[in-house]
Amino acid sequence: MYNIEVWTPSNATSILLGHDRETYIAMTTNRELTKAITDKLSTRFVGRQLYYYAKLTSTMNMAREKASKGAPEGTVIIANQQTSGRGRLGRAWFSPQGNLALSLILKPRIENLTQLIMVASLAVVKAIKSVSDIDATIKWPNDVLVRDKKVCGILIESEVKGNAVHFAVLGIGINIDLDTTAFPEIAAIATSLTQESGSNISRAELTATLLTEIEKLYLEAQAGMPIHKEWRERMDTLGKWIEVKSGDAIERGKAEDVTENGNLILRHANDSITEILVGDVTVLKS
Ligand code: BTN
């Protein structure tokens, strides 16, 4: 059995009587959507506990809170809307209704922690292909692009104590049904699945497919199967001249390869090589 919870505020009775129409609609939609997702799931543990909220500050906060209280591996938090969605490197993540904002609690062995980046981005690419036939690519380390514009961002946070991963939270934001042209701050760099496919994408089907792909790849990675090769094949950063910003440091060079730990190998103009663990890539030329 799947455990489904729909967030209900303390004045739920009056809301259900129709006094707060927006929240009522959100609750009803959430209930239907949650059922539609779980109906399509055939996973062993990912999504077995699925919490769906009309509005959260960030699904990352809720997932961390639940993980700290002992929520099992595979617990999923979804929000219809986030008011303070966060991205990598301290950035904000724009997260209005219509997008998918999801956080998943995982408890990998420490040696598998770095593979979560590959698991997540590869699973997103596969799920997008499956529901829309769109060929998405990966921009190192884990942005998912369609025709060079960002359609998905991934954030991984973990609590590690000594040599043990207490928990990791994998946060995924996908622009499903967003008219990015209406938002000047992201119009030039972002796109959505609806815009790219020209047709409606089912949130429930995309979510269920995504969770299924994540579980499959995660179990493969834990079992020592090589997912790095496939991740590398989907990466469109390789072979390009790029700039990588990491804090105040800026490195320029040709993206030569990615290591099995997910690090980027950058070859500079003077032929020296740097291995980069974290950063933000801008493509200078192909
Ligand atoms: C990035 O591209 O910088 C990462 C964006 C990650 C956004 C997702 S949406 C679900 C989860 N909740 C958040 O606040 N962030 C992640």
Whether residues 221 and 245 share a domain: the answer is: no
Overall domain count for the chain: 2
Quick one: CA torsion of 219, 143, 158, 113, rounded to 10 degrees? 40
Domain that holds residue 209: 3-233
Whether residues 120 and 218 share a domain: the answer is: yes
84 CA → ligand 1 middle, Å:
10
168 lines ligand 1 (CB under 6 A): no
Measured from the Cβ of residue 225, the count of other Cβ atoms closer than 10 Å reads: 10
Whether residues 74 and 116 share a domain: the answer is: yes
Report the pLDDT value the prediction gives residue 248, as an integer from 0 to 100.
87
Q: Which of 93, 121, 192 to mutate to test the pocket of ligand 1 (most atoms within 8 A of CB)?
A: 93
Read off the CATH number of the domain in which 154 is found.
3.30.930.10
Report the pLDDT value the prediction gives residue 16, as an integer from 0 to 100.
39
Which one, of 279, 132, 274, 116, lies nearest residue 199 by Cα? 132
Report the pLDDT value the prediction gives residue 226, as an integer from 0 to 100.
85
Q: Are 3 and 49 in contact (CB under 8 A)?
A: yes
Whether residues 120 and 211 share a domain: the answer is: yes
52 CA → ligand 1 middle, Å:
16
Whether residues 112 and 153 share a domain: the answer is: yes
Report the pLDDT value the prediction gives residue 123, as an integer from 0 to 100.
98
Whether residues 79 and 149 share a domain: the answer is: yes
Whether residues 277 and 252 share a domain: the answer is: yes
154 lines ligand 1 (CB under 6 A): yes
Report the pLDDT value the prediction gives residue 190, as an integer from 0 to 100.
95
Whether residues 98 and 125 share a domain: the answer is: yes
156 CA → ligand 1 middle, Å:
9
93 lines ligand 1 (CB under 6 A): yes
Report the pLDDT value the prediction gives residue 108, as an integer from 0 to 100.
96
Whether residues 41 and 168 share a domain: the answer is: yes
Whether residues 74 and 133 share a domain: the answer is: yes
Which of 233, 253, 271 is the endpoint of a domain? 233
Report the pLDDT value the prediction gives residue 26, as an integer from 0 to 100.
56
Whether residues 197 and 255 share a domain: the answer is: no
Quote the pTM value.
Answer: 0.90
Report the pLDDT value the prediction gives residue 11, as an integer from 0 to 100.
36
Whether residues 258 and 153 share a domain: the answer is: no
192 lines ligand 1 (CB under 6 A): no
Read off the CATH number of the domain in which 260 is found.
2.30.30.100
Task: Report which protein residue has its CA nearest ligand 1's atom 16.
Answer: 171
Task: Report which protein residue has its CA nearest ligand 1's atom 2.
Answer: 153
- Which residue positions in the chain have pLDDT lower than 70? 1-29, 285-286
Convert the chain into a string of H (helix), E (strand) and C (coil). CCEEEECCCCCHHHHHCCCCHHHHHHHHHHHHHHHHHHHHCCCCCCCCEEEEECCECCHHHHHHHHHHCCCCCCCEEEECCECCCECHHHCECCCCCCCEEEEEEECCCHHHHHHHHHHHHHHHHHHHHHHHCCCCEEECCCEEEECCEEEEEEEEEEEEECCEEEEEEEEEEECCCCCHHHCHHHHCCECCHHHHHCCCCCHHHHHHHHHHHHHHHHHHHHCCCCCHHHHHHCECCCCCEEEEEECCEEEEEEEEEECCCCCEEEECCCCCEEEECCCEEEEEEC
